[in-house]
Amino acid sequence: MQVIIYDDAQQVAQSAAVWVKTLIQQKPDTVLGLATGSTPISLYKELVDEHKKGNLSFANVKSFNLDEYHQIEETNPQSYRSFMKQHLFDHVDIDQSNTYLPTCAIGENPRAQGLAYEEKIKQAGGIDLQILGIGANGHIGFNEPTSSLVSRTRIKTLTEQTITDNSRLFSADEEQPTMAMTMGIGTIMDSRYVLLMATGKNKAKAVLDTVAGPLSAMCPASVLQMHENAVILLDKEAASELADHEYFQWTDEQNKKLNAEFGLFHNF
Ligand code: F6R
């Protein structure tokens, strides 16, 4: 696990953008795993800016999002498809027929839809780089605490905490979904690289449990301790409960030297 601590959320976004941009430049047909939520919005802004400056093309990129609300229309402004269009897809040259979300419409069988999503990821050659945020309860995707650490794409019931955390995004007259389709933890673990972004004080405990806690289904993100290439990008607030800041800083300096000589990615 590579833990990198930055002064603020903007630096976290800029660093994440460097990882994504470097990979796409090295492998133009990158398969990206994408997240929604507040945290990656500034990453997507950085990527859009890079695209507009002519430094980055998504023309051959495929993407798979982590999750989507159950039985939501694509065109609903609350759908994660709408979120991705608003923050990324509509502003870059990605072919939107190559962008996938784990949808399950009314009348469709969520179990069959989950299997079909897994198959689509496999056919695309697997996910090269998965972007993750983290819930205050340690969830990744919508894999809530107690999720199987080897789970695959499936339907999940959201916890009270997640529903409350996300209620800020819904107005009083909008119905907030309580179920979602999500990539499983096993699906996420199959990605070649994982980039988890966490910012803000309310993520500090989940970050501590992820990096330094026991590996436990009670903190799904702790499974990343078992990932070969997990990079954890934190601002100071999200890192505030971690000890060993000096060690992480020292390691980062060493890694920067290695990266300058050999590149960020070593297995593409
Ligand atoms: C979003 C997702 C979630 C979020 C997490 C953090 O696709 O899968 O796991 O990453 O809930 O959300 P924010 O960034 O809004 O704090």
**The domain that contains 7 carries what CATH number?**
3.40.50.1360
Close Cβ partners of 116 (under 8 Å, ≥ 6 residues apart) = none
Residues of the chain with pLDDT under 70: none
Strands (E), 121-264: 129-132, 154-157, 179-182, 193-198, 230-235
Domain residues for the domain of 224 are 2-262
Asked if the structure places residue 204 within a domain, the reply is yes
- Classify residue 267: in a domain, yes or no: no
CA distance 220 to 223: 6
Check pocket membership of 190 for ligand 1, CB cut-off 6 A: no
Which residues are marked as active site? 67, 137, 139, 144
Which residue has its alpha carbon closest to ligand 1 atom 12?
37
Q: 22 lies in a domain?
A: yes
**From the CA of 69, how far away is ligand 1's center (Å)?**
13
Decide whether any atom of ligand 1 lies within 6 Å of the 35 Cβ: yes
- Confirm whether 46 is domain-assigned: yes
- In 88-134, which residue ranges form alpha helices assigned H by DSSP? 110-123
Ligand 1 touching residue 39 (CB < 6 A):
yes
User: What is residue 268's predicted lDDT score, i.e. its pLDDT?
Assistant: 83
For residue 260, report the distance from its CA to the centre of ligand 1, in Å.
31
- How many domains is the chain built from? 1
Q: How far is the CA of 64 from the centre of ligand 1 (A)?
A: 15
Confidence (pLDDT) at 252? 96
Q: Burial of 229 by CB count in 10 Å (0-12 exposed, 13-18 middle, 19+ buried)?
A: middle
Determine which residue's CA is closest to atom 2 belonging to ligand 1. 141
